Each structure stands twice: as C-alpha cells, then as structure tokens.
C-alpha cells in the first residue's frame, strides 16, 4: 500500500503546470488536495509518470463576489467553502451540503477543483455545480475556455478536461430573490459518499413556483437535473399531492445501479423520498420573509 515510483514537480504558476503536463504526455496527473488521487496511488490503481503539484501556485484559492456571481478558485479547500460567510449568505445550500462531504481532515485538504475534476458519481460538489448552473474556467496552452457544468460531467470519473488542461475557477451565478433551498442526503455513516442526495431550489412569485431546480447525485454515472420533475412544479403550489407526482417522475427518470452499499431499487425509492423532503424544505424557505 505504497505509491508507485513517479517524478514530481511543484508548479509555481498555472503556466508552469500546463507546460509540465504537456511535456509529460497523457500519463501525468495533477496533484491538488490529493484526497482521491493519493488513495488511488497507494492502491496502485494509477501509475502516473509524474505528479504536477499545484498546491504552491499562489492566488488560486479565493471566494470572490462580483455583481453577477461568486467566483471560487479551484484550489479553495472544502473547509473554506463550508465556512465562508459569503457562501452562507448567497448559497446556503452549498454551506449545508459541504458539512456532508467526508470528514474535517479531508475537507481541510480536499479542493473544490479537485473534487469537480475527479467527478465521483456520489459526490456532493458535482451535484451542486449542476444545481447552481455553474461555469468552469479551464486553462491550457491554447488559452482559456469556459464549460457549463451541464456539459462538463461526461461519465463516472470522466469530465471534459484534456490531459494538459487545468480547471482554475468555478463561477456560481447569483440566485434570484425569493429563492428557497432544500438539501437531503442519506449515507451509511456521516461523511460517507451518498447512497443518494438531492438538492432543490425553488423561486417563488405570487404564491406559486416560478423557477424550479432539482439536482440528484448517487443515482447514476453523473449528477443530473430532473427537468421533467421541475416542469411539474412551475406555476403551482407544491402541496402533498403534487409532491407525490414529482416523486414518481424522479423515480422514473433516474437510472441508479446496484453496488455493495445499496440496491438500485433502494436508491430509486430513497431518491424519491429525499426529493419530496427537499422540495418541501425549499418551498417553506422560499415563502419565509427574507431577513
């Protein structure tokens, strides 16, 4: 259970990181928080020729507000996002969900960019990115490009990132006023990966739902939105009857798998229950007078 031999370079800028990745070809790996990569090295599931450590690149860990959005540097640690007053104010659903991510020692090291690039099918952050319609800033030798979260997650542990590209920034567009949130997760033990988790945002106008977002994780190869279920809520008041119908649609459209933690049937049932609860929470919060 020791890592295989690899070469190592501590990049001092995005440009030196990209150059080192490009020079190494396809078997280099970026070392950020290391909380998923190092276990895979210890198990020798990966044998990269070189690790490009980006931890010493200055100015990549920040949480910054602009007029339209909040920008999170890719090297921001989970614990920073969990405890940021700006995030608590503008994206309380993120602050809540982050306390479910692993354990303090992992959250101290693990990075936002690392978790999103790793794209575990049961992780919270990819689901939050889909929910918040985040955009990802990606740097490479050919310049910068921006990818929306909905196009970024391609398959389990597979994202739209080339081997010599670095995810540098996550952009979270601000939410409309009168938006309430809900978050529900079930894991075998606090901090474990979700058997299923659901995050909901409801924007309310004139006593009815104006905009609805339902995002799920742990119930397929990638996190997903439940667009068909969202559509049912528009213009309506989510009473128990309507929530029941939304739950049915959620269960119909997801494609969970059986593994040693839970069966597909259990995950399907669970996702429905959690979606119902999260919708009720979001509705209640959206209807509360804003502070």
Stretch that binds another protein, among 17-25, 29-37, 200-208, 274-282 (CB under 8 A): 29-37
* Residue from the set 53, 135, 165, 169 that interacts with another protein by CB under 8 A: 53
Which residues between 65 and 84 bind another protein (CB under 8 A)?
79
Q: Which of 88, 102, 126, 100 is nearest to 225 (CA)?
A: 126
| Under rule CB under 8 A, residue 6 binds another protein | yes
Site string for another protein, 249-288 (x = CB under 8 A): ----------------------------------------
| Under rule CB under 8 A, residue 10 binds another protein | yes
> Residue 35: exposed, middle, or buried by beta-carbon count in 10 A (0-12, 13-18, 19+)?
buried
Q: What is the closest distance, in whole angstroms, from the C-beta atom of residue 271 to another protein in the complex?
A: 23
Q: Which residues of 163-184 are buried (b: 16+ CB within 10 A; e: fewer)?
A: ebbbbbbbbbeebeebbbbbbb
Stretch that binds another protein, among 28-36, 174-182, 216-224, 251-259 (CB under 8 A): 28-36
Spatial strand order in the sheet of 166-173: 63-65, 69-73, 166-173, 135-140, 143-148
Residue 240 near residue 174, CB atoms below 8 Å: no
* Residue from the set 67, 189, 240, 260 that interacts with another protein by CB under 8 A: 189
Q: Which of 125, 126, 188, 120 is nearest to 152 (CA)?
A: 126
| Under rule CB under 8 A, residue 41 binds another protein | yes
What is the distance between the alpha carbons of residues 187 and 45, in angstroms, rounded to a whole number? 25
| Under rule CB under 8 A, residue 47 binds another protein | no
| Under rule CB under 8 A, residue 85 binds another protein | no
> Residue 1: exposed, middle, or buried by beta-carbon count in 10 A (0-12, 13-18, 19+)?
exposed
Applying CB under 8 A, the site for another protein has a residue count of 31
Footprint on this chain of another protein (rule: CB under 8 A): 1-8, 10, 31, 34-35, 38-39, 41-43, 51, 53, 55, 79, 102-106, 108-109, 189-191
């Amino acid at each position: 259970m020791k890592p295989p031999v690899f070469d190592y370079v501590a990049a001092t800028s995005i440009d030196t990181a990209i150059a080192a990745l490009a020079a190494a070809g396809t078997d280099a790996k970026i070392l950020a928080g290391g909380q998923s990569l190092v276990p895979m090295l210890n198990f020798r599931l990966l044998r990269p020729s070189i690790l490009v450590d980006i931890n010493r690149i200055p100015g990549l860990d920040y949480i910054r507000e602009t007029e339209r959005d909040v920008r999170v540097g890719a090297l921001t640690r989970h614990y920073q996002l969990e405890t940021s007053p700006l995030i608590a104010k503008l994206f309380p659903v993120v602050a809540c969900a982050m306390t479910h991510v692993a354990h303090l020692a992992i959250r101290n090291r693990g990075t936002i960019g690392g978790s999103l690039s790793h794209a575990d099918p049961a992780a919270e952050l990819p689901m939050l990115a889909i929910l918040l319609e985040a955009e990802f800033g990606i740097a490479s030798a050919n310049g910068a490009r921006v990818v929306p979260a909905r196009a970024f997650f391609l398959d389990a542990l597979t994202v739209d990132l080339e081997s010599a590209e670095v995810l540098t920034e996550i952009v979270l567009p601000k939410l409309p006023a009168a938006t309430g949130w809900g978050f529900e997760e079930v894991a075998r033990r606090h901090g474990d990966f979700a058997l299923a988790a659901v995050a909901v945002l409801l924007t309310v106008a004139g006593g009815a739902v104006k905009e609805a977002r339902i995002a799920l994780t742990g119930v397929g190869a990638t996190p997903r939105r439940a667009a068909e279920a969202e559509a049912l809520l528009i213009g309506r008041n989510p009473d128990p009857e309507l929530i029941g119908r939304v739950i049915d649609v959620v269960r119909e459209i997801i494609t969970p798998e059986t593994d040693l933690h839970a069966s597909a049937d259990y995950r399907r049932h669970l996702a429905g229950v959690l979606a119902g609860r999260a919708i009720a929470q979001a509705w209640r919060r959206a209807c509360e007078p804003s502070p």
